[in-house]
Structure 1
Amino acid sequence: MDRRTLLLLSLTCAVGVGNVYFPQAIGPLVAAGLGASPESAATIVTATQIGYTVGIFLLVPLGDRIPYRPLLVTLFGLTGAGLLAAGCAPALPPLIAASALIGVTTVAAQLIAPLAAGLVGEERRGAVLGTLLSGSLAGMLLARTFGGTLGERLGWRAPYLVAAAVVLLLAVVLARTLPATTPPARRPYRTLLAEPLRLLRAEPELRRSCLYQATVFAGFSAVWTCVALLLTGPAHGLDVRAVGLLALVNAVTVLCTPYAGRQVDRRGADAVNLVCLLAVLGSAALLAAGSGGGAASLTALVAGTLLLDVAMQSGMIANQARVFALRPDARARLNTAYMTCAYLGGSAGSWLGVRAYGPAGWGGVCALVAALAGIALARHLVAIRHRKAPPAAPATSDGRPARAPVGPAAAGPVAARSGTPPRRKG
């Protein structure tokens, strides 16, 4: 993989992921433009993420059966059509339906990760995944800035229409420049759909990685779904451009993910996961200090979202490196299982975040983030403890632990045979 190809794949990740996240910044504008409540308008975020989860489950396994170039070009064409439909939606229900379609088809980043993992050696996999994740993260953060700024100036429809033009242009570029690949599997589509569930049952390390990402991403989604409500509410009294500026400040996370990838290559995924889960707990405390007004509160909000973004993205690199090492012949299906669980967690987090914000305010959202991170951290500590524990001694036929051998037998059969025989009397 040369740098030009890696840059193109990173840009594709950025555009694909950005379509999921720019609606988070324009929820209040949608509510005002369509005469809906802010809570109802936030449903477009949940619908997009649910659609994204469905798209991962239904479409990403095709990466093991269909060459990546025609698959990606087709999906980007459908995404462009969905964005055009959303930008022209006359009411909230059609917008929600179009948002679900956008989510289903804009799964490019989840196809590119297994594609790239197969184009590089294991010794570079963490670094390449970190670079691709930097692209995804740039799309995630800059999309909120793009959506908030453009929506504030031109209305909530403008981000959808501009995104549609960008997606369709990128589809043309991919059709001309993406390298040709040979799919590793020729199994029927029905078998490919069932394979992620079978892999979840068969691979404990996959289940563990899925739990980590689902819980952390749920907290992440809860924060970014509700932060627009916080900033535009009475405590801060800002407009939706503040959400975009907050995301722009957090773009420094893009510089951290390649470093996290190198640390995964050097120290292992478990060490990076531990640091990331502790960082999520710390971010919950910082975010809780951002509920009031004033400069100090905004500073805490910036620091908390920055720490949360770095921790979530770095943990994703560690999890994917662990997952892709399990079965080289089934990376798309492994990624399907992993990302389906992650975005189920993200969809649940968006829904739970809005429900927590209603009765408990921003403090309820921060408590939700801490609780979810605590679940993942507890599971991780159990895994580390089991890995460090010595193997259990074999049991005898009556169930009691076997006693360690003594004498020459303790040194092994060779030493026992070569030991000095006992002296005879006389």
Structure 2
Amino acid sequence: MNSAVRRPPRMSRAVTLVLAVACGLTVANLYYSQPLLDLVAVTFGVSQGAATAVVTLTQAGYALGLLFVLPLGDLVENRTLASRTLVGTALALLLTAVSPVFGLFLAASVLVGITSVVAQVLVPLAANLAPPEERGAVVGRVMSGLLIGILLARSVSSLVADLLGWRAIYFLSAAVMVALGLALLKMLPKSPPTHTASYGSLLASLGELVRHEPALRRRALCQATLFGAFTAFWTAIAYELIGEHGFSQREIALFALVGAGGALAAPIAGRIADRGNGRLASGAALLLAGLTFVLSLTGHASVPLLGLAAVLLDFAVQFHQVLSQHEIYALRADARARINTVYMTTVFVGGAVSSAVTGLLHHAYAWTGACVFGLVLCAIGLSLWANGLRSARVATG
């Protein structure tokens, strides 16, 4: 064996925990605004539909960061890349917090999205550090932290807004990003890049991955529809709870907290993926997501039923996400950052488009419009999955 070949450091429980916490704290920046849209609209004197653009542009910024920042994970040492990007996140959050006009607030939201891709730098790093036989379980644990961050972000931002005003969450998160950058530098092992190619050639290679990896295309498109449905639900639910059920910001925070139960999906999905049962389980997740919108539509007068729908939807989205990442990370060990770039960019473009469409549909058709849209997206994802399953059966004879 060539002694010059470098082996990545083995994953420890402490490193897994740090990665999970880091993913949760950084991805939370994308979701702080969702339960605050009513307050943002009042502060800047804009309509609810216009305020929804905050969600759209933050996710669009995240997609840009995934496309242009994330490929650096195959070229730059990951610990350094993550910590330096977090400095940019902190500065963007501070600009968001002090924005005096809506236009600047929107521009700062784009920057928050672009720089919050640290979570997606760390997920492939977890896959690289984990032994192959435990990769699904490790990615599942890290993704649990990411989902908890997504779900608790809404509760935390609502509570902070109730106590200190809606701008305070951005000041607080900026401080957290600085502390997190220091923690990553101290705790994470060095992960030397595997490529010496130029940045331009790495970007050009993204097209090659799309053309030559059908599993990547299928998984990315399926998750994009599912994440679009997830975004439709959580973009519209605050309006529904405030307008139809008279919720306060504190009550919205408690409702969002209920959805955190969906984080249980990640370790379960990881174990299923490690056993080779991910393909059929993916179809079950897509079907479950569709059923949650039927429940949301028919049971909208009941807050407990809406809460149950939130838990089941979050469970389905996270379950499918872990199964998808387990499959795509096994495609090319030397290109995991770029594979994640293609996958997550597709997913968040789906989310950004969904939030924009949801704003229009909610304005015209209220909660019914958002639920029907989410159901249609789940049906599209299920059809993509079924087509992929048929193709796989044909290929294996």
TM > 0.5 fold call: yes
2:26 equivalent in structure 1: 16
Residue 250 of structure 1 aligns with an amino acid whose one-letter code is G
1:277 aligns with 2:286: yes
Structure ID, larger Rg: 1
1:39 aligns with 2:46: no
1:381 equivalent in structure 2: 386
Of the three residues 348, 372, 375, the one matched with 1:343 is: 348
Which stretch of the first structure deviates more once superposed, 212-221 or 237-246? 237-246
Of the three residues 109, 113, 125, the one matched with 2:123 is: 113
Q: Aligned-pair distance for 1:324?
A: 0.6
What does residue range 149-298 of structure 1 map to in structure 2 within 5 Å?
Answer: 149-233=159-243, 235-292=244-301, 297-298=302-303
Q: Any idea what SS the aligned residue of 2:32 has?
A: helix
What does residue range 81-100 of structure 1 map to in structure 2 within 5 Å?
Answer: 81-100=91-110
Which stretch of the first structure deviates more once superposed, 373-382 or 337-346? 373-382
Q: Any idea what SS the aligned residue of 2:33 has?
A: helix
Question: CA deviation digits over 1:108-127, x for unaligned, max 9?
Answer: 11111111111112211110
1:372 equivalent in structure 2: 377
Measured in 2, the distance between the counterparts of 1:204 and 1:364 equals: 33
Measured in 2, the distance between the counterparts of 1:323 and 1:105 equals: 24
Unpaired stretches in structure 2, ≥5 consecutive residues: 1-10
Q: Any idea what SS the aligned residue of 2:100 has?
A: coil
Matched residue count: 387
2:8 equivalent in structure 1: none
Unpaired stretches in structure 1, ≥5 consecutive residues: 393-426
Measured in 1, the distance between the counterparts of 2:396 and 2:115 equals: 47
Instruction: Indicate the structure whose relative CO is greater, using CA pairs within 8 Å and at least 6 residues apart.
Output: 2
Q: Is the 8 A contact 2:263 2:314 kept in 1?
A: no
2:86 equivalent in structure 1: 76
Q: Aligned-pair distance for 1:236?
A: 1.1
Aligned residues: percent identity?
38
Measured in 1, the distance between the counterparts of 2:44 and 2:265 equals: 39
Q: Any idea what SS the aligned residue of 2:245 has?
A: coil
Q: Is the 8 A contact 2:264 2:315 kept in 1?
A: no
1:311 aligns with 2:321: no
Residue 388 of structure 1 aligns with an amino acid whose one-letter code is R
Q: Any idea what SS the aligned residue of 1:175 has?
A: helix
Residue 286 of structure 2 aligns with an amino acid whose one-letter code is L
**TM-score, reference length from structure 2:** 0.95
Q: Is the 8 A contact 1:223 1:365 kept in 2?
A: yes
Residue 264 of structure 1 aligns with an amino acid whose one-letter code is A
Of the three residues 323, 327, 332, the one matched with 1:322 is: 327
Q: Is the 8 A contact 2:70 2:120 kept in 1?
A: yes
Q: Aligned-pair distance for 1:382?
A: 2.1
Question: CA deviation digits over 1:205-238, x for unaligned, max 9?
Answer: 11000111110001111111111111111x2111
Question: CA deviation digits over 1:94-152, x for unaligned, max 9?
Answer: 11111100100011111111111111122111101110110001111111111011112
Question: CA deviation digits over 1:222-280, x for unaligned, max 9?
Answer: 111111111111x2111233332122111112223111110111143212211101101
Residue 59 of structure 2 aligns with an amino acid whose one-letter code is Q
Residue 205 of structure 2 aligns with an amino acid whose one-letter code is E
Measured in 2, the distance between the counterparts of 1:142 and 1:339 equals: 21
Q: Is the 8 A contact 1:33 1:156 kept in 2?
A: no
2:336 equivalent in structure 1: 331
Residue 151 of structure 1 aligns with an amino acid whose one-letter code is A
Q: Aligned-pair distance for 1:390?
A: 7.7
Question: CA deviation digits over 1:331-354, x for unaligned, max 9?
Answer: 000000000000000001111111
Measured in 2, the distance between the counterparts of 1:213 and 1:340 equals: 11
Q: Is the 8 A contact 1:29 1:152 kept in 2?
A: no
Q: Is the 8 A contact 2:140 2:269 kept in 1?
A: yes
Measured in 2, the distance between the counterparts of 1:229 and 1:142 equals: 18
Q: Is the 8 A contact 1:152 1:241 kept in 2?
A: yes
Residue 356 of structure 1 aligns with an amino acid whose one-letter code is L
Measured in 2, the distance between the counterparts of 1:276 and 1:363 equals: 22
Measured in 2, the distance between the counterparts of 1:333 and 1:388 equals: 28
Q: Any idea what SS the aligned residue of 1:335 has?
A: helix
Q: Is the 8 A contact 1:291 1:363 kept in 2?
A: no
Measured in 1, the distance between the counterparts of 2:334 and 2:99 equals: 42
Q: Is the 8 A contact 1:253 1:309 kept in 2?
A: yes
Measured in 2, the distance between the counterparts of 1:213 and 1:155 equals: 34
Question: CA deviation digits over 1:32-58, x for unaligned, max 9?
Answer: 222222221221111110000000000
Q: What's the RMSD between the two structures over aligned residues? A: 1.3
Measured in 1, the distance between the counterparts of 2:346 and 2:316 equals: 18
**TM-score, reference length from structure 1:** 0.89
What does residue range 408-419 of structure 1 map to in structure 2 within 5 Å?
Answer: none
TM-aligned CA distance change 1:165 to 1:290, over 3 Å: farther
